[in-house]
Chain A
């Protein structure tokens, strides 16, 4: 199908975007890379009256390291993340995660700001920024708000962003010494939406996790930072400890049923991912031995 008619504004600055958003509220939609917005419009799932195209605002494209923070502009495309040496050095989880986002032709257009603001619970980048404990920077006419990624996602396609605000950047703490990351998703085909996935960021010292943030995706209405993973921090990991954490994860999650997978299959896959993640990050193949993992 084709999108219904709308008015179009090519924004010249962030201030210009905010003026338009204040004037038109939720009748306006921000067009970034368009790789989720355009399908929704073509399918007539949404019919905005005004499209505010932010594609020309160069200041939203920047990738910069300032002190301990890696700042990634909202218009940074997936292909830019994939090829950025700064991101590979300071947030390698993102580099790995973005390779799983759709296909080359989509990655050439899709942006990190668009993906985060769209908040599809099955997509890779929202979970990754939650695992990285990143901060989402949004701007409104009254100023800037900085929202912890863990508080940003509010439900399926729902975020803390108001209709008058623009997501301008995401700030990621740069990877520390002893940082390690894990990313894996189960999908029918490379580039498809995940059936269940895990983005994790950890600090490993002397064979122990001193920090472990596991953000599961496609198993709930938003990325889920699993509390069960806390059971693995600062303790010697044995297969018993791990299976207890995995059982606790199963209790914690309440995944949805759909045509791709049942709730119990998703729960099973998430538990599997936790075990594989611990085994991979600690370099302990013994933890996955002996079970169906």
Chain B
């Protein structure tokens, strides 16, 4: 089926099979391999991307469903510099080890910080509850998001 959508601000036209999910479309067709594929049934959160401004599981969405939509992946978020501070906080706080979950974590964390400037640890934990990390034990990830929220509050006029 023909689809036409926007990915990280660029228009994309493609011809795809209906069974292709959005994660595989991004990775195999567009070579945007920052979106990771973990469980392929919506449990691990590694494939989290933004569709029309909202985070979704790209393994639970068909690529054909994104016809006419605007998709932002970790590449888009990273290249624009929008989350440079969050990425730096992850690095400083050792909030990643193998890095497999990190793109999904960053997408979900940025989604929270866009909607809420002053989340407490409980709120951060809840918002990231759909993202698995098998390395860090989560504490450092919560720290990094908390530190970023605090720093962004300080920067605002």
Contact = CB atoms under 8 A, between A and B. Distances in A.
A105 B23 CA distance: 14
B41 A7 contact: no
Contacts of A191: 126, 129-130
Q: Is the interface of A mostly helix, strand, loop or mixed?
A: loop
B130 A104 contact: yes
B55 A42 contact: no
A51 B61 CA distance: 13
A8 B45 CA distance: 26
A191 B126 CA distance: 8
A39 interface: yes
A1, A31, A51, A106 pick with most chain B CB within 10 angstroms: A106
Interface in A1-57: 1-8, 10, 31, 34-35, 38-39, 42-43, 51, 53, 55
B42 interface: yes
B59 to A, nearest CB: 7
A35 B40 contact: no
A51 B19 CA distance: 10
B65 A53 contact: yes
B101 interface: no
A205 interface: no
Contacts of B129: 103, 189-191
B98 interface: no
B61 A3 contact: no
A109 interface: yes
B60 A35 contact: yes
B104 to A, nearest CB: 9
A10 B2 CA distance: 12
B17 interface: yes
A195 to B, nearest CB: 16
A102 interface: yes
Interface string B41-59: 1100100100000111101
Contact of A105 (B19, B56, B67, B126): B56
A108 B65 contact: no
A245 interface: no
A105 B64 contact: no
A94 interface: no
Given A190-B129, A191-B130, A34 B61 contact: yes
B95 interface: no
Interface string B108-139: 10011000000000000111011100000000
A6 B21 CA distance: 12
Contacts of A108: 54-56
Contacts of B127: 104
Contacts of B131: 103
Nearest to B131: A103
Given A2-B21, A79-B54, A8 B60 contact: no
A38 B21 contact: yes
Nearest to B20: A2
Interface of B: 1, 17-19, 21, 24, 40-42, 45, 48, 54-57, 59-62, 64-65, 67, 108, 111-112, 125-127, 129-131
Given A1-B40, A2-B21, 11 more contacts: A5-B18, A8-B18, A8-B62, A38-B59, A38-B61, A42-B60, A79-B54, A104-B112, A105-B57, A106-B42, A106-B130
Interface of A: 1-8, 10, 31, 34-35, 38-39, 42-43, 51, 53, 55, 79, 102-106, 108-109, 189-191
16 contacts: A2-B40, A3-B19, A5-B17, A6-B19, A8-B18, A8-B64, A35-B60, A38-B59, A39-B42, A42-B41, A51-B18, A104-B130, A105-B55, A106-B60, A189-B129, A191-B130
